[in-house]
Structure 1
Amino acid sequence: MENKALVIIDVQNTMFLEGEEVFNGNELLQGIKALIKQARLAKIPVVYIQHNETTGYPLENGTYGWEIHSEISPEEGEIVVQKTTPDSFLKTTLDQKLRKKGIEHLFLVGIQTEICVDTTCRSAFSKGYEVTLVSDLHSTWPSSELTAQQIINHHNKALRWFADVKSSDEIQLSPKA
Structure 2
Amino acid sequence: MLLLIDVQRNMLEPPVPVPAWESVSAAIATLLDRARTAGEPVAWVRNAGGPDDADAPGTPGWELVHRPLDGEPVIDKVLPDAFANTDLGDLLFPASHLVVAGMQSEWCVRETALTALALGHEVTLVSGAHATHDDGRPAHEISREVEQELVSSGARTARVDEITF
TM-score normalised by structure 1 residue count: 0.88
Ranges in structure 1 where 5+ consecutive residues have no aligned partner? none
- The answer for the alignment partner of 1:92 in structure 2 is 86
Give the root-mean-square deviation of aligned CA atoms.
1.3
* CA displacement at 1:77 relative to structure 2: 1.1
* CA displacement at 1:97 relative to structure 2: 1.7
In structure 1, how many angstroms separate the alpha carbons of the residues matched to 2:11 and 2:69? Answer: 21
* CA displacement at 1:151 relative to structure 2: 0.6
1:121–1:162 Cα contact (<8 Å) kept:
no
* CA displacement at 1:17 relative to structure 2: 4.3
- The answer for the alignment partner of 1:132 in structure 2 is 124
In structure 2, how many angstroms separate the alpha carbons of the residues matched to 1:108 and 1:16? Answer: 16
**CA offsets, 1:20-52, max 9 Å, x none?**
211211111111111111111111111100000
Match of 2:41 among 45, 59, 62: 45
Question: Is residue 83 from structure 1 mapped to residue 74 from structure 2 by the alignment?
Answer: no
**CA offsets, 1:86-133, max 9 Å, x none?**
00000001001223xx67110000000000000011000011111111
TM-score normalised by structure 2 residue count: 0.94
In structure 2, how many angstroms separate the alpha carbons of the residues matched to 1:109 and 1:155? Answer: 12
2:131–2:139 Cα contact (<8 Å) kept:
yes
4+ residue runs of structure 1 moved beyond 3 angstroms?
none
Question: Is residue 62 from structure 1 mapped to residue 58 from structure 2 by the alignment?
Answer: yes
Question: Is residue 165 from structure 1 mapped to residue 165 from structure 2 by the alignment?
Answer: no
* CA displacement at 1:54 relative to structure 2: 2.2
Ranges in structure 2 where 5+ consecutive residues have no aligned partner? none
- The answer for the alignment partner of 2:114 in structure 1 is 122
In structure 1, how many angstroms separate the alpha carbons of the residues matched to 2:48 and 2:119? Answer: 23
1:152 maps to a residue whose letter is: S
What's the % identity of the aligned pairs?
A: 34
2:13–2:21 Cα contact (<8 Å) kept:
no
* CA displacement at 1:19 relative to structure 2: 4.2
1:119 maps to a residue whose letter is: E
2:43 maps to a residue whose letter is: V
Where does 1:26-45 land on structure 2 (aligned, <5 Å)?
Answer: 26-45=22-41
Q: Secondary structure at the match of 2:17?
A: coil
In structure 2, how many angstroms separate the alpha carbons of the residues matched to 1:103 and 1:61? Answer: 32
2:105 maps to a residue whose letter is: T
In structure 2, how many angstroms separate the alpha carbons of the residues matched to 1:150 and 1:18? Answer: 22
1:31–1:168 Cα contact (<8 Å) kept:
yes
Q: How many residues align?
A: 164
